[in-house]
Amino acid sequence: MKNAQKPTKQLNAAKEVSYPIVSPANLYIILVAGIIYSIAMQMAVLLVPLYAITLQMPPLSLAFLISLPVILQLGIRVIGGIINNYFGEKRILMASFLAIALAGIVFMSSETLVYLYVAQILLSISRGLFWSTAQTYLSKLPEVKGRLNKVFGLFEGATAFGAILGLVMAGYLTQWFGFSMAFTCLVIIGTVSFCLCFILPDLTRSKSRETISAGFKNIGRVARHKPLYLAGICAFTAALPLSLVGSFYPVYLDSLGIQEGIIGVITSLKAVGTIFAGLVIARFLDRISLTISYTVSMVLVGVTLIITQMFEAAEILAVIIIFTGLGSGISSILFQSLTSKYSTEENRGSAMAFTTNFWTMSHLVTPILFGAITENLGLSYSFIIAGVAILLFGLMGTVAFRRFIPENYS
The CATH code of the domain that includes 116 is 1.20.1250.20
191 and 304 part of one domain: no
Residue 139 maps to a domain: yes
Of 205, 240, 270, the residue at which a domain comes to its end is 205
52 and 156 part of one domain: yes
159 and 285 part of one domain: no
Q: Which of 81, 74, 73 is nearest to 99 (CA)?
A: 73
Instruction: Give percent of the chain above pLDDT 70.
Output: 76
225 and 201 part of one domain: no
Residue 9 maps to a domain: no
Full domain range(s) for residue 307: 221-405
- Exposure class string for 320-354: b at 16+ Cβ within 10 A, else e: bbbbbbbbbbbbbbbbbbbbbbbbeebbbbbbbbb
- Mean pLDDT of the 326-338 span: 89
For 278-289, the pLDDT digits (tens) are: 778 877 777 788
245 and 329 part of one domain: yes
* Maximum mean pLDDT: which of 26-35, 96-105, 113-122, 196-205: 96-105
pLDDT (0 to 100) of residue 392: 94
Residue 50 maps to a domain: yes
Structural domains in the chain (count): 2
**pLDDT bucket at 320, cuts 50 / 70 / 90:** very high
112 and 174 part of one domain: yes
Dump the DSSP string for 23-89.
-THHHHHHHHHHHHHHHHHHHHHHHHHHHHHHTT--HHHHHHHHHHHHHHHHHHHHHHHHHHHHH-H
- Mean pLDDT of the 25-48 span: 79
- Mean pLDDT of the 244-261 span: 76
Residue 195 pLDDT > 90, yes or no?
no
**pLDDT bucket at 354, cuts 50 / 70 / 90:** confident
139 and 255 part of one domain: no
Q: What is the rounded average pLDDT for all residues in the chain?
A: 77
- Mean pLDDT of the 316-334 span: 93
268 and 379 part of one domain: yes
pLDDT (0 to 100) of residue 86: 66
